[in-house]
Amino acid sequence: MAFETALAKPSMNRTERRNQEKQYNKRSYNQLVQAYPAIDFKTYFSEIKLSKFDSLIVSQPAFFEALNQLLTTQSLESIKAYLNWNVMNTSAGYLNSALEKQNFYFYSTVLTGTTEQKPLWKRGIAAANSIVGELLGQLFVEKTFTPESKKRVNAMVDDIVAAFKVRINGLTWMSNETKEKALIKLASFNRKFGYPDKWKDYSKLEIKDDSYLANQYRASEFGFQDMINNLGKPIDRGRWGMLPQTVNAYYSPTLNEIVFPAAIMQPPFFDADADDAVNYGSIGAVIGHELTHGFDDQGAKYGADGNLKSWWTEEDKKLFEGKTKVLVNQFNNYYVSDSLHINGELTLGENIADLGGLTIAFEAYQMRLKKNPGEVINGFTPEQRFFIGFAQIWKNNVRPEALRQLILTDPHSPGEFRVLGTLSNMPQFYQAFGIKEGDKMYRKTEDRANIW
């Protein structure tokens, strides 16, 4: 515990780790060895069979400085104990039932408040997912993903990109010089839907009936070797960083791409039987969210080619940071208990993406309404159903223990505040529901964030 604490203290916290510039510390092999002589990098790289590279990135120099010092001050027995503990701890969930339950008790019950393990069949699927996920993905997309859904969502992306272009051109705080580069980046986004064009080859992965733990080790070695094999080769832009059966989406700043697995193109995020208002407010907001990540406080540091470089004028950058500070202050004042509040800095990127994404999706929906006029359904106008669709996707249940952990570690705000925080900044929401001063979600005009 003391050894791990000594490593943790100098490490960057969650908020600091959001800053990619701080983590981009390029070093040659000789510089690495000279900086941290107590760490036997030669043996380490030899053991993992990594010999040919011209440079590497030391993402957290302070961590390596601490490790270098600990290796010279701690006893060999302490170091062995720490390494043994890590082997046992990472293996506990794959051993006998008693150890598995004890592992669950600490990491789930103590830390997140979960009182019961999932049934064995669900744990079995999760285990297979972690080892041969793309094999399960092939079965999943056969049953759930239709070409019609892909076509419809792709059309929504076209609308939202067009709307984003309109929003950028209409910005009064951004100079024409920066606008031009922002539009170049927007036009260069790659998009992936559903599943990879080429599935992962698992033929070299051995799965035997000798030991569950041994299979886990072999799977880890297979995954590690798959990663190492890509070193020095051209970037494979067809690879996915998420499984098709995962209900999520992501933006990759280094590849400048947005990715939407098949599983998120299901209700409540996308409903083929729902009208445009609901779908633009739900999956449309998610599409806009991922696009906006390319222009959030960190994504905006990457150019259209995926390289970490500034494309802003200094004045525009300062104006942008001033606008994002409004969001930081707003979310810092959301309390989930008397003593626990949201970290506005940690959640800034996601809050920017939520607000920008929904704003752009609303603009896209207004453009769609000109082609396909909406109607009142169940007493709600198209605009009202748009915002209701957004609120529906963030419904969730969370235990107090899990909520505390999320607040301390997750760059996303809790679902409730993703809705309240985003909508209370949007004049379109005020107009749709007649929100006025004195209502709980009302914010003064000067207190509302308005970025994209």
Joined together, the tokens standing for residue 299 give 């994504």
Catalytic-role residue among 257, 297, 354, 383 = 354
Task: Tell me whether residue 354 is one of the annotated catalytic residues.
Answer: yes
Answer for the pair 244, 145: CB distance below 8 angstroms, yes or no.
Answer: yes
Alpha-carbon distance of 63 to 108, in angstroms, equals 27
- Could you give the CA distance from residue 224 to residue 50 in angstroms, rounded to a whole number? 11
Which among 257, 276, 290, 363 is annotated as catalytic?
290
Strand partners, 426: none
Catalytic annotation on 276? no
Chain length of the chain: 452
Who's near 331: CB < 8 A, 6+ residues apart? 342, 343, 344, 347, 348, 351, 413, 417, 421
Sheet holding 257-261, edge to edge: 190-194, 257-261, 250-252
**Residue 296 to residue 293: CA distance in whole angstroms:** 5
Neighbours of 418 (CB within 10 A): 24
The DSSP bridge partners found for residue 250 are 259
Report the C-alpha gap between 124 and 215 in whole angstroms.
13
Q: Tell me the two tokens of residue 226.
A: 């798959």
Single-letter amino acid code for the residue at 355: L
Strands 56-57 and 26-27: antiparallel
Active site residues: 290, 354
